[in-house]
Chain A
Amino acid sequence: MGRNNFDALLRGEIHPDDAPPELRELARLIQLARGPAEAAELINESVVVSDVAAAVRRASVLGGRSGVSWKRRALRLVSAKAIAVSAALLIGGGVAAAATGSLPAPVQRAVADGLRHIGVSLPEPSTETTSHVHQSTAVPHGQTSLAKFGLCVAYLHQVTLHASAGVLSSARFAELSTSASADGETVVHYCEVIAGDRSRSMATGSSGQAETKIGHRGSASHGAAKTTRTTGSAQSNGNGHGKPSGSTTPSGSAPGKSRRHQASTRTTRPARHASGRTQRHDQPAKPTAQPGRGPGNSNRHQPPSKSTTPPRRGSGAGSGKGAAHGKSAATPAGKGGSAAHR
């Protein structure tokens, strides 16, 4: 029997009487197997039909008529998930970068300003940020107090977690270690002091902000919003070096002020502690007089002109500002400015 006959047999097209004798019974069974529906086979027709029709209508309403295959839907689903994960990673990475002050200065400033409205405090871009850019020509110790604060918090956290000195294997922590050893202290103690000072200065943030505003009023009397910060700083430190150098952004908003204040309170830490420590900072700071280097670094290493100045007072334009103009003020004037920030 050929293929065509087999196919015809399987389709029930060959009547048993027409089939060869050896296939007659097979043909008969096939015809029986293909017989008409029996009542028992349609017993649940009404239920299934109504369910199926309802499901089809529901799927049509939900967009099932798009003609999209399951594969494509699955692909879309996977793509959507991939996009969501990527977005989460990007956002998370961006926030992390903003929290560590690693973003470019304009972006960092924008993010910090934006998040401040919802009560999130992020580091403001400072000369240190820019000094990172020029690190190839600058002294490698270019860290803001805020960055050091962050490093210290991270270090203390790591030490708490691991309780071992192996934490210092990181290059950034090694830098911290260098600073601490320059002060003649252990890294833990050094960090505890920095972290404690920072916390205290943040706790007094409201009054400090008020004082910053006072500083601004003083600057307003000079009639130049641009010079407000420097003027403020000059007033606060009183050494007259508040020359408006680099900072060209007239950010006269209240958040900006408080931001500056916070930075300044940070930088007052060495003044409140043993001045000897800041003296010791002088030595590595000497090379900071290199051209192109931001005074922010040198600032930190300057002897405090007002070591008795309460942290809140010195703040005003002090820190943040000094950092901001630092670049152009890498001159002796810049030094003075840096002293003021302290």
Chain B
Amino acid sequence: MVVERDLAVALEAARRGEDWGVSLLFRAIQPQLLRYLGQNGPQVAQDLASETWLSVAQDLSSFEGSVSDFRALLFTIARRRLVDHYRREQRRPQQAPLDDGREFASQGSVEAEAELLSAGEAIAALVSSLPKGQSEVILLRIVGDLSVEEVARVMGRSTGAIRVLQHRALRRLEKKFQADGVTI
């Protein structure tokens, strides 16, 4: 697994336009981006993620900051692309989520089911029952691997507000899985 130090070197190379640097960053962050954007379907997620990378590329040569800052920048742009996508699709019928958490909950054996779950399904199980704000915080924190401060920057809210949303989301998830008596 690529560690943060390697990513820092890769980021420097990517700033110079070297393919290997971009490739390393892409492998580390693209899955996170797709999982963040994946609630709108895999094809849409791929398209939005590609747009995000190309947008970042315009300014990557002048980017100054750590890998964590770069990741936050990527998710900020991805979020904007997502908002644009929502606006475009506003009048179209909503797409059903990938899966419903209750379906996961109703399924039997914990260990067996857990091993069968993909990342996308696990994410759907986590956020499908959460309100929009809370689900976004959870996604950015878990999938995006961002800190509370970075999530606050990405979402344009205060860290206090993010902490409150995060706390409520975790309490809700805790209750949900307790009530279901689930062990996936």
Contacts and interface: CB of A to CB of B under 8 A. Distances in A.
Contact of A67 (B14, B57, B62, B166): B62
Contacts of A59: 57-62
Interface string B15-35: 111110011001100110011
Interface stretch (A38-46, A265-273, A317-325): A38-46
Contact of A48 (B14, B53, B182): B53
Interface residues of A, number: 46
Interface in B104-146: 110, 114, 117-119, 121-123, 125-126, 138, 141-143, 145
Interface string A20-55: 001111101110111111101111110011111111
A57 B126 contact: no
Contacts of A30: 122, 126, 142
B19 A64 contact: no
Given A25-B184, A34-B145, A37-B27, A60 B16 contact: yes
B126 A29 contact: yes
Contacts of B148: 7
A65 interface: yes
A170 interface: no
Given A22-B174, A29-B184, A42-B31, A49 B62 contact: no
B54 to A, nearest CB: 6
A6 B166 contact: yes
Contacts of B166: 6, 10
B50 interface: yes
A240 interface: no
B103 to A, nearest CB: 14
Contact of B22 (A32, A53, A70): A53
B64 interface: yes
Nearest to A67: B62
A56 B15 contact: yes
Given A28-B184, A54-B17, A33 B58 contact: no
Interface in A203-240: none
B155 interface: no
Contacts of A36: 1, 31
A57 B122 contact: no
A50 B61 CA distance: 15
B153 to A, nearest CB: 15
Given A6-B166, A33-B126, A55 B57 contact: yes
Contact of B60 (A6, A9, A22, A52): A52
Nearest to B115: A32
Contacts of A66: 62
Contacts of B94: none
A14 to B, nearest CB: 12
A50 B20 CA distance: 10
A66 B145 CA distance: 30
Contacts of B121: 32
A68 interface: yes
Given A26-B177, A41-B34, A44-B46, 12 more contacts: A10-B138, A11-B141, A23-B174, A29-B126, A36-B1, A45-B27, A52-B14, A52-B60, A53-B18, A53-B19, A53-B22, A56-B15
Interface of A: 3, 6-7, 9-12, 22-26, 28-30, 32-38, 40-45, 48-57, 59-60, 64-68, 70
29 contacts: A3-B163, A10-B141, A12-B142, A22-B178, A25-B184, A26-B177, A28-B114, A29-B125, A32-B114, A34-B142, A34-B143, A37-B31, A38-B31, A38-B119, A42-B27, A45-B27, A48-B50, A48-B54, A49-B22, A50-B19, A52-B53, A52-B54, A53-B17, A53-B18, A53-B57, A56-B14, A59-B59, A59-B61, A65-B62
